[in-house]
Amino acid sequence: MIAATGNGSRGGWLMTTLVLVFLLASSAPSFAQQAPDPPASDLLNAVLWMQRSVEYKASALTAFALARIRLDQALADPSWTAAPKEQTGAYQSLPPAIILDVDESILDNSGYQAWMTLKGTSFDPKTWNAYVKTVTSQPIPGALEFASYADSKGVKVFYLSNRTADEEAATRKNLEKFGFPMGGTVDTMLMTRKQPDWGSAKGTRRAYIAKSYRILINVGDNFGDFVDEYRGSEAERLKIMEDNKARWGREWIMIANPSYGSFESAPYGHDFKLSDAEKRKLKRGVLDAWPGP
């Protein structure tokens, strides 16, 4: 430290003060150097819930515990089917099978959602493909145990995923890593576009399975995992859900996924060309809000 000299000299005092101010200013980080606030993201609470909450884990365990109970009931009931539209003819004598969606139904991809949240970006097929090929998705609580139980009962486990055929090898590797049953000599990986008529709607793939198997349980996280009319308006979706009310929790098991899905795009008419601001405005517009005090 530099001390003032000479009979309390005003000039010396001023010099000391200036030096101290300079030293403090140069050692402290400037406002411009501070890290910027992270970008706002509609995904934040959803991803936080899926990654950190015991409630999410408990919800998934509950769903798969119910699925196991329903599977036992289905095996004892020859008329039981989880594919009411696709299961035709004398299906009662067919060998049993279950259908599992992959993403957010049995594999947790919240690492990708978290990346988008922190980067302030949105879904892109290129970054998604890069994530899939890391083979780092983790099993959703209860999923592996349920799939293994079904396999132990002689039930064929089919995976109906809207991952692309190009992503099948990495997906298979990810499932095999944790011991999910892979079907033996039967190809149980039914990816989108693997055959010409296998689009994002899954009815054609369910029908493909239903020709050779009695489908007992269907597990998914999105309305489209159960019906092909998932991209209708909110009112149309609600009517279809109500029309199938008896199936939920019986042969159709829904896994909670608040981070993405057709629920999120329904308010803006599933028009993915809209800007994020336009989508957010339309989503806010459908909320039933308390008017306030």
Per-residue pLDDT tens over the stretch 189-242: 999 999 999 999 999 999 999 999 999 999 999 999 999 999 999 999 999 999
Q: Is residue 80 part of a domain?
A: yes
The confidence band for 2, taking pLDDT boundaries of 50, 70 and 90, is: very low
Q: Is residue 37 part of a domain?
A: no
Domain span at residue 121 reads: 51-285
Q: Is residue 43 part of a domain?
A: no
Instruction: For the chain, give the mean pLDDT.
Output: 91
Q: Is residue 245 part of a domain?
A: yes
Helices (H), the chain: 10-27, 44-52, 54-75, 110-119, 125-132, 143-152, 168-178, 203-210, 234-243, 262-265, 276-285
The confidence band for 164, taking pLDDT boundaries of 50, 70 and 90, is: very high
The confidence band for 37, taking pLDDT boundaries of 50, 70 and 90, is: confident
- Compute the average pLDDT of residues 168-195: 97
Measured between alpha carbons, how far is 74 from 216 in angstroms, rounded to an integer?
A: 6
- Of all residues in the chain, the percent with pLDDT exceeding 70 is 88
pLDDT at 25 over 70: no
Say if residue 241 is exposed, middle or buried (CB neighbours under 10 Å; 0-12, 13-18, 19+).
Answer: middle
Q: Which long-range contacts (CB under 8 A, 24 or more apart) does 132-138 make?
A: 132/163, 132/167, 132/170, 132/171, 132/174, 133/167, 133/170, 135/170, 135/173, 135/174, 135/177, 136/111, 136/174, 137/103, 137/107, 137/108, 137/109, 137/111, 137/174, 138/107, 138/108
The reported pLDDT for the residue numbered 38 is 74
Tokens linked to 97 = 């099978």
The reported pLDDT for the residue numbered 137 is 98
Q: Is residue 46 part of a domain?
A: no
More confident residue, 5 or 39: 39
Measured between alpha carbons, how far is 93 from 78 in angstroms, rounded to an integer?
A: 8
pLDDT at 131 over 90: yes
- Tokens 């005092």 correspond to 13
Q: What is the CA radius of gyration of the chain?
A: 27
Q: Is residue 112 part of a domain?
A: yes
- Tokens 């699925």 correspond to 67
More confident residue, 108 or 33: 108
pLDDT at 149 over 80: yes
| Beta carbons within 8 Å of 113's beta carbon, 6+ residues apart | 43, 46, 47, 50, 259, 260
CATH of the domain at 184: 3.40.50.1000
Q: Is residue 88 part of a domain?
A: yes
The reported pLDDT for the residue numbered 245 is 97
pLDDT at 32 over 60: no
Q: How many domains does one find in the chain?
A: 1
Measured between alpha carbons, how far is 82 from 246 in angstroms, rounded to an integer?
A: 11
More confident residue, 95 or 13: 95
Pairing of strands 214-220, 138-139: unpaired
Q: Is 252:226 a contact under the CB 8 Å cutoff? A: yes
Q: Is 239:247 a contact under the CB 8 Å cutoff? A: no
Q: Is residue 159 part of a domain?
A: yes
The reported pLDDT for the residue numbered 21 is 47
